[in-house]
Amino acid sequence: YGDKPDIIREKSAELYERAKNYFPGGVNSPVRAFKSVYGTPLFIEKGDGSRLWDADGNEFIDFCGSWGPLILGHNHPKIREKVIEVMQNGMSFGAPTALENELAELIIKNNKYIEKIRFTSSGTEAVMSAIRLARGVTKRDKIIKFEGCYHGHTDALLVKAGSGLVTFGETSSAGIPKAYADETIVVSLNDKEAVKAAFEQFKEQIACVIIEPVPANNGLLLQNQDFLEFLREICDQNCSLLIFDEVISGFRVGFEGAAGFYNIKPDIITYGKIIGGGLPVGAYGASNGIMSNISPEGGVYQAGTLSGNPVAMAAGIAQLTELLKSGFYKEMNQKTLEFTDSIQRYATSKSYKFKVFQIGSIFWFAFTEKEKIQTSEDIDASSMEKFKMMHRELLNRGIYLGPSGYEVGFVSAAHSKIDLEKAKRAIFESLDIVFKN
């Protein structure tokens, strides 16, 4: 249906065939298999600044950014140099290093929402530990999560809503004991009544409420400020803890993340992605009092062979140092807003049923007429066919988006005006094709 030839994927296809011998589905993380978009997955060979190159030599302007960590773009010289410098002294010691102090200081001194932090190796681990901490502190078992928020692949959180206002979750993966899902109550986003009902039904049993304050794993389901404030209040009233999972929003919508953006103090915050500068890092933080429950100070056990790994710390230090430069977020956010506004104006001028949602340097393309999409039920699954078409047209025009219509896009500091102009033109042309078909 397109007017451009498909990109060549010969080498990628060959690599994918080989990968299928080694990995389930040929990949090490499911979305990479391109199951919801056209064609064979692209095997990436190189990234530099705003650009990506695949194994066949196709060049793309990248808006996936490794799913969020690369806020400065690919292979930023400051990060690369710092990593190489630190690596000269060895890769891992399993013992404390000064680098951990340095990254923790950068985070804590510039973030009024946490006083102590613990580094992990992934976002999943950070969230898993934060939940354990909340349960340890409150001595309660049940947790509330929201349908459409993703918090990594721990058992307690791979749980989706059942039917009804307040439900025990149903596991959303095989291999999770039902008993785990029974401790997780799943409610809709933006639904105060459901949250109230859950607290009433399970009085003094709720350890915590966990939310992505900027839900960005199932579209971009921007919540109202007052809903987040309501969660803060109801947690206080019930002596439950509020956890903000800021693995995506942390250091993305501002240095202080969504907590700073909305000016709401959660009890525990989880981070990942950006704090590792592209290397594997997660973290969770809270007040001194709450964090004192973590082993070896307290009784909540949590550990990691590669936690606080010096090379990963080095990357994080280099990246966060850049983010702290004056005007960084203002410029990023302004640049993104101009980009998304002009896409929206184009779509509206053509009466396309298409909406761009945006916060900070995060954006999401939705094929919808709705002015707001705040719950996963509001997403029209059938519109994903249109995304699939758009994704193919964009690849053919040198633009790389994450391979699913439920994923958000990220603008990085490396995207130049020219990159964004080029991307806009490609997006306009792709929209024209999608809406002609």
Instruction: List residues near ligand PMP by CB under 6 A.
Output: 67, 122-124, 127, 150-152, 212, 217, 245, 247-248, 272, 282
180 is catalytic: no
282 versus 285: smaller Cβ distance to ligand PMP: 282
122 versus 396: smaller Cβ distance to ligand PMP: 122
Marked catalytic residue, from 16, 113, 150, 329: 150
Q: How far apart, in whole angstroms, are the C-alpha atoms of residue 401 and residue 222? A: 20
Rounded to the nearest whole angstrom, what is the least distance from the CB of residue 352 to ligand PMP in the complex?
29
Rounded to the nearest whole angstrom, what is the least distance from the CB of residue 150 to ligand PMP in the complex?
5
Helix (H) and strand (E) counts in the chain: 13, 17
Marked catalytic residue, from 54, 62, 245, 419: 245
Write out the two tokens for 99.
């680098």
User: How far does CA 371 lie from the centroid of its chain?
Assistant: 23
> Residues 281, 316: contact at Cβ < 8 Å?
yes
Strand-pairing partners, residue 236, are none
63 versus 67: smaller Cβ distance to ligand PMP: 67
Closest CA to 210 of 154, 286, 269, 284: 269
3-class DSSP string for 8-50: CCHHHHHHHHHHHHHCHHHCCCHHHHCCCCCCCCCCEEEEEEC
Rounded to the nearest whole angstrom, what is the least distance from the CB of residue 281 to ligand PMP in the complex?
9
Write out the two tokens for 335.
């640049």
Distances (CA, A) of 112 to 133, 257, 258, 264, 318: 20, 11, 12, 11, 21
Rounded to the nearest whole angstrom, what is the least distance from the CB of residue 413 to ligand PMP in the complex?
20
Marked catalytic residue, from 273, 335, 355, 386: 273
Q: How far apart, in whole angstroms, are the C-alpha atoms of residue 206 and residue 137? A: 12
55 versus 286: smaller Cβ distance to ligand PMP: 286
46 is catalytic: no
Rounded to the nearest whole angstrom, what is the least distance from the CB of residue 111 to ligand PMP in the complex?
17
372 is catalytic: no
41 versus 123: smaller Cβ distance to ligand PMP: 123
Residues 6+ apart with CB under 8 A from 189: 146, 147, 148, 149, 211, 215, 221, 223, 227, 374, 375, 376
Residues designated catalytic: 150, 245, 273
